């Protein structure tokens, strides 16, 4: 049975990672509340975290679990970008060598940023195969041949525990504003973040309903939750949300979200583009498509939020200016 971190583990991870990560702002938007009919709307701006996303939290905590010998030899992982940057930044901070395997079609801005943190980047060409499966196979090969510790970007209870810091932090910030979230909207790729965030609310605010927000065609978590078993989405889907294109959730995140009674929903690319524009114009946030998907769900009326307090987790801002402008102009 897959381990689900308890509250003590989440708090232990947050106590450690909070010394190495940013306290990201919790923004309240009266304009979004008026537009959607919500009582209050808050946006947790994880896009302003070190390396541009929440990933630094789980990456740092996972690296702290390495043995001295593992830390000396270094680690390898696969990622399309945000975990790559978070792990590279954490590795640089801790003096641990990091190798990242990235699909060749991962955004160039994320690839260069990963290198900027001192990581070695290995590219894979997946052709008509699932890109995460090809990259994962290459990472395993490097781990075996070079003796590096193999880390998974999301399917790891310790990654889940580390990412929960975003939820614990948001809960503390909401409390300071005399608010309690009725609804949480959180983007999902493989599920590491929502696994941690949903557990934080499950333990500390059990009345809150958490929703997993995914791109249409890549809504493996929502489909799995609906059917009660982990399912793999078919090949061939496309989305501008490059960070949310996992075809199925990990075992560890799935165990966490089922414990926390999470529900799933899916959004279209057009709604994501509009959310990116709204975030820029009203919140002054630059969000990548993946990071704006939860806001897209709110603006698109995917959930009835009338009279309720809503927390939107904006997960990442790693997008080039050129790509950002293309999305905004097409919104």
Q: Please list the pLDDT of the chain residue by residue as tens digits (331 residues).
A: 689 999 999 999 999 999 999 999 999 999 999 999 999 999 999 999 999 999 999 999 999 999 999 999 999 999 977 899 999 999 999 999 999 999 998 888 889 999 999 999 999 998 777 778 899 999 999 999 999 999 999 999 999 999 999 999 999 999 999 999 999 999 999 999 999 999 999 999 999 999 999 999 999 999 999 999 999 999 888 999 998 998 899 999 999 999 999 999 999 999 999 999 999 999 999 999 999 999 999 999 999 999 999 999 999 999 999 999 999 999 9
Q: Which domains are assigned to the chain?
A: 7-53+157-329 (3.40.50.1100), 55-150 (3.40.50.1100)
Q: How far apart are the first and last CA of the chain?
A: 44
Strands (E), 40-182: 40-45, 75-78, 98-103, 120-124, 149-150
What angle do helix axes 251-259 and 192-204 make, rounded to 10 degrees?
30
Res 235: pLDDT:
85
Report the candidate in 142, 131, 192, 189 with the shortest Cα–Cα distance to residue 5.
192
Sequence-separated (6 or more) residues with CB below 8 Å from residue 125: 104, 134
Give just the sign of the alpha carbon dihedral 80, 86, 90, 93: positive
Angle CA 173–176–181, to nearest 5: 60
Pairing type for strands 149-150 and 98-103 reads unpaired
Percent of the chain having pLDDT more than 70?
Answer: 100
| pLDDT tens-digit readout, 181-208 | 999 999 999 999 999 999 999 999 999 9
Radius of gyration of the chain (CA): 18
Cβ 157 vs Cβ 285: under 8 Å: no
Report the candidate in 316, 331, 242 with the shortest Cα–Cα distance to residue 286.
316
- DSSP letter at 100 equals E
| pLDDT tens-digit readout, 51-60 | 999 999 999 9
Give, in order, the Cα–Cα distances in Å from 10 to each of 4, 187, 298.
10, 20, 27
Q: How far apart are CA 142 and CA 99, in angstroms?
A: 9
pTM over 0.75: yes
Pair of tokens at residue 108: 């160039």
Res 128: pLDDT:
75
């Amino acid at each position: 049975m897959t381990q689900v971190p308890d509250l003590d583990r989440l708090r232990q991870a947050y106590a450690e990672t909070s010394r190495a990560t940013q306290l990201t702002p919790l923004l309240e938007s009266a304009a979004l509340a008026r537009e959607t009919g919500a009582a209050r709307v808050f946006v947790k701006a994880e896009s302003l975290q070190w390396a541009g996303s929440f990933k630094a939290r789980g990456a740092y905590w996972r690296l702290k679990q390495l043995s001295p010998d593992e830390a000396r030899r270094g680690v390898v992982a696969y990622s399309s970008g945000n975990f790559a940057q978070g792990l590279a930044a954490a590795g640089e901070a801790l003096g641990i060598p990091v190798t990242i395997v990235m699909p060749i079609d991962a955004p160039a801005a994320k690839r260069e940023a990963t290198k900027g943190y001192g990581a070695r980047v290995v590219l894979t060409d997946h052709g008509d195969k699932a890109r995460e499966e090809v990259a994962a196979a290459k990472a395993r090969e490097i781990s075996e041949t070079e003796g590096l510790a193999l880390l998974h970007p999301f399917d790891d209870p310790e990654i889940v525990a580390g990412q929960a810091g975003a939820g614990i932090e948001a809960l503390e910030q909401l409390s300071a504003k005399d608010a309690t979230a009725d609804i949480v909207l959180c983007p999902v790729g493989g599920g590491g973040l929502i696994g941690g965030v949903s557990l934080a609310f499950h333990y500390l605010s059990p009345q809150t309903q958490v929703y997993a927000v995914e791109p249409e065609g890549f809504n493996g978590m929502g489909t799995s939750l609906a059917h009660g078993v982990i399912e793999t989405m078919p090949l061939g889907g496309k989305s501008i949300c490059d960070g949310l294109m996992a075809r199925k959730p990990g075992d560890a995140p799935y165990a966490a979200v089922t414990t926390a009674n999470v529900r799933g929903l899916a959004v279209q690319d057009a709604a994501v583009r509009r959310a990116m524009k709204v975030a820029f114009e009203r919140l002054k946030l630059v969000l990548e498509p993946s990071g704006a998907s939860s806001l897209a769900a709110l603006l698109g009326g995917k959930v009835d939020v009338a009279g309720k307090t809503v927390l939107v987790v904006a997960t990442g801002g790693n997008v080039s200016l050129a790509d950002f402008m293309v999305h905004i102009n097409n919104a």
